[in-house]
Amino acid sequence: MATQDDVRLICSKLPGASEGEERFGFSVESKGKPKGFLWSWAEKVHPKKARIVNDEVIAVVVPNLTAKELILEPRPRWSVEDPHYNGYPAVLVLLSEIDLAELEDLVVEGWRSKASAAAVKQFDEVEGSP
């Protein structure tokens, strides 16, 4: 089981990652602009009303739709479906159902998708990744 505090801890290790101010989410600066890689999900509770933020679920960017398909193919218990995200490279994660190692892998991959090459290189040097 993961929490927003776990997400914060993971993001604190990612160069350039910063938490949003208006609602839960993280971005990283790339080419002088903040690029969101993780945010709380806004759920469509009623078809004729505005979406409502559901802090129990986060959206995490993935590199592309093929990666999304591979991640969701086994239908992990933590995944949430929303037609609004069809065709968009992000997965919806129910925090109470994902283990910390899998969450960290997803968050780091989301950050890598938006971070600059310099930030990724810095992270890889510290973490000992290839």
- Between vectors from CA 10 to CA 23 and to CA 64, what angle results, nearest 5°? 75
**Which pLDDT value is given to residue 47?**
81
Kindly state the DSSP code that residue 114 receives in the 8-state scheme.
Answer: H
Going by the DSSP 8-state scheme, the letter that residue 42 receives in this structure is E
Instruction: Compute the radius of gyration of the chain from its Cα atoms.
Output: 15
79-80 β-sheet, strand order = 17-19, 25-30, 33-43, 52-61, 90-94, 79-80
Distance (Å, rounded) from C-alpha 4 to C-alpha 95? 8
Q: Average pLDDT in the 10-36 region?
A: 95
So what's the pLDDT on residue 117?
A: 93
What's the CA gap between 120 and 14, in Å, rounded? 9
Give pLDDT tens digits for 77-86.
Answer: 999 999 999 9
**Cβ pair 28, 34 in contact under 8 A:** yes
User: What proportions of the chain, in percent to the nearest 5, are helix, strand and coil?
Assistant: 40, 30, 35
pLDDT for the residue 45: 81
pTM attached to this predicted model: 0.90
Domains of the chain listed by start with CATH number: 4-121 (3.90.1150.30)
pLDDT, residue 129, reads 56
What confidence tens digit (pLDDT) does each residue in 90-110 have?
A: 999 999 999 999 999 999 999
Mean pLDDT computed over every residue of the chain: 93
Residue whose pair of structure tokens reads 């780091």 in the numeric block: 108
